[in-house]
Chain A
Amino acid sequence: MSEEAVDVLIVGAGAAGAAFAWSLAETRMNIVCLEQGGWMKQEDYPTAGVDWEMRRLGDFGMSPNSRGRKEDYPINDSESPIAISNFNAVGGSTILYAAHFPRFHPGDFKINTLDGVGDDWPVDYAQLAPYYDLNARMMGVAGLAGDPATPPHDFPLPPVPLGKVGETLAKGFNKLGWHWWPSDSAIATRDYEGRAKCINLGPCIMGCAQGAKGSTDVTYWPLAVRGGVEVRTQCRVREVTLGANGLADGVIYYDADGVERKQQAEIVVIACNGVGTPRLLLNSVSKEFPNGLANNSGLVGKNLMFHPYAMVNGVFDEPLEGYKGPTGCCLMSQEFYETDLSRGFVRGYTIETLRGNGPVSTALAGLGGDIPWGADHHREFANRFDRSAGMVVICEDLPEEHNRVTIDPDLVDSDGIPSPKVNYRLSENSRKMLDHSVARGTEILEAAGARDVSAQAPLQPAGWHLMGTTRMGTDPAKSVVNEWGRSHDVKNLFIIDGSIFVTAAAVNPTNTIQALTLYIADTIKKNLSNLFD
């Protein structure tokens, strides 16, 4: 069944798809977005019920392999020490993200020039800075200006509260003389653009019942829809099709009833994240592209980058009220961000402090023996509940071709579409960085007064940031898309998500994904008359 051609067809309604749709809406072109998930309802988010903590292990879990939602597709990540985390809905993974919103540093775009590793980006910080600013206004970013670790930038909203946890850990950083700063957070700390202000519910990573967190279903999408963009939900795209002229002519997808449909389009834009995007391209096989669409370079799916994470926690003597306030967004440190080869590795990491857990999560975290059953149970629970705090560490991953996304020979989703497989090995550089970060994290916690410090590195379920699998560049032999997201091989095919990252930096990527998307959208608008030249 074929449908009338649209001007622009976007696949994926997450962080990138939403920003792109909003930006292009002003052109009044006929724009449709196909999304395999649906619209979320704020009243369905876990914090509205007493069982809220347990739903993190159920329908609001991080892994698509165990969440049990029809709109998810399975991902074979058995050959990776880091498991894939994502979410499929209007808003994509911003539904579950912690809303950390730091920017890349200028040097992050030029690591080959600076450090002789990876590759330089074909765009730089100065080009993206206006789009970071625009994105801050659109997503509603809270923070404090003046951070010496990053180029100067302003915030439309005041920072998230430090709380007792933040103050306690800040004193630890100060004792060591190390950098820290309130986190850049896409959280409405005041009523903002129709969003109610944050009321410190706690687990942003299970969706925000208040609607204060900047997920794109409550930021960009309402404006894009008002601007005329159509979002078609529960529609899962199987492949991008190629016309006789060598241009993409649309997609084949399955609708909510599982009916196969064809949507024709003049421009196809892919925004399915660092695993979903190469999956779609590798499933789009034709005579002209037997190894997957837009894959003349052979790089589709290669150079997968995560951010290897460490988690370091400690136990304090005093109550911290850690179950209040945004779980992940509190304060961050970039003391060890820039390269210092005396540390034994190249590049660096960001530290982001964590608040505490609710009672169920505290008890379950102690299942390994810290909180035993029996006579000592209450004493050990009391020692830990509301007295635990710590941090995660985000290490910069470097691009390596052997880290990759391919199509699994056996696994399929509920529509029968072949699913992706991830092969990933942690590099020696990452291991050294993780070890260094655990040692520094331990020092911070002890300086802040913690005892019983424990760590996990790498953090297994932390495959939140999926980057690099259709990298951008000016050389068609060494990249999949050009400096404004257009496929080198298919002139009306654009990729706008984290797949096009050349390197990963050591910060959460959503802000940069969206700034880059807005930059690409503006470039398209400026070049509409000769877009396919």
Chain B
Amino acid sequence: MSEAVNHSQFSDDQQRSLSCVLDQIIPPSADAKMPGAGEIGLVAHIERAVHKTPDLRPTIADGLAAADGLAQSRGAQGFATLPEAQRSQVLEELSTTHPGFLPSLIFHTYVGYYQEPRIVAALGMETHPPYPKGFPMEPGDLSLLDVVKKRPKMFRAV
């Protein structure tokens, strides 16, 4: 999110394709209350994850290349210019040829998306971490216990 990335993990073209893939994983909601994952710039989050776990890089880079290749076979210049209706189908096809690509991206997309303050706010939560403000709570209705209190001793005598 606000953490700076020292260097980019992917080229501009890869980033464009990646952003479109992220928008397929979590697209904008129909009521427009929730934006797409690519739309909120989660590419930077994925790049941070790759920076932290370099083994992830070939999985994602190879998957993006394959996505671009499949898009080109359908007449587009790359995944980013593929008509919207065909994008999820291309990603489904990749699950066979590049089985690690989509699961890895889904995991990191879910993590990054639901940590993003804009998304947390859209869920109706406060955007700060739990500490130090915490959450107020009422004790709850302990009169619900009245029926339990009437029960006889339950534990066994020794």
Contacts and interface: CB of A to CB of B under 8 A. Distances in A.
Interface stretch (A148-156, A222-230, A240-248): A148-156
Interface in B100-158: 102, 106-107, 109-111, 113-115, 117, 119-120, 123, 125, 129-142, 144-145, 147-149, 151-158
B77 interface: no
A170 interface: yes
Contact of B134 (A50, A150, A210): A210
Interface centre among A110, A113, A209 (most CB of B within 10 A): A209
B110 A367 contact: yes
B61 interface: no
Interface stretch (A101-109, A272-280, A423-431): A101-109
Secondary structure at chain A's binding surface: helix, strand, loop or mixed?
loop
Contacts of B138: 161, 163
A477 interface: no
Name, among B88, B109, B130, B152, the residue most crowded by chain A CB atoms within 10 Å (CB to CB): B130
B115 A360 contact: yes
Nearest to B151: A148
A201 B134 contact: yes
B135 A200 contact: yes
Interface string A182-212: 1000000000000000011111000001100
Contacts of B158: 106-107, 109-110, 113-114, 124-125
A5 interface: no
Interface residues of A, number: 67
B25 interface: yes
Interface string A326-351: 00000000100110000000000000
Interface stretch (B12-20, B26-34, B65-73): B26-34
A374 B153 CA distance: 54
A359 interface: yes
Nearest to A335: B154
B24 interface: yes
B5 interface: no
A459 interface: no
Given A106-B156, A148-B149, A199-B134, A171 B111 contact: no
A476 B49 CA distance: 56
Given A47-B130, A201-B131, A325-B135, A337 B154 contact: yes
Interface string A150-183: 1100000011011100110011001001011110
A124 to B, nearest CB: 7
A47 B107 CA distance: 21
B76 interface: no
Contacts of A149: 154-155
A202 B130 contact: yes
A53 B107 CA distance: 13
Given A114-B158, A364-B107, A373-B106, A180 B148 contact: yes
B59 to A, nearest CB: 16
Contacts of A258: none
A54 interface: yes
A125 B113 CA distance: 51
Contacts of A159: 139, 142
24 contacts: A48-B129, A53-B115, A107-B158, A148-B149, A148-B153, A150-B155, A161-B140, A162-B140, A162-B142, A163-B137, A167-B141, A167-B144, A174-B147, A179-B148, A199-B131, A325-B135, A338-B156, A359-B114, A362-B114, A363-B113, A363-B114, A364-B111, A367-B107, A378-B34
Interface of A: 45, 47-54, 105-107, 109-110, 113-114, 124-125, 144, 146, 148-151, 158-159, 161-163, 166-167, 170-171, 174, 177, 179-182, 199-203, 209-210, 321, 323-325, 334, 337-338, 358-360, 362-364, 367, 373-375, 377-378, 385-386
Interface of B: 1, 24-27, 29-30, 34, 88, 102, 106-107, 109-111, 113-115, 117, 119-120, 123, 125, 129-142, 144-145, 147-149, 151-158
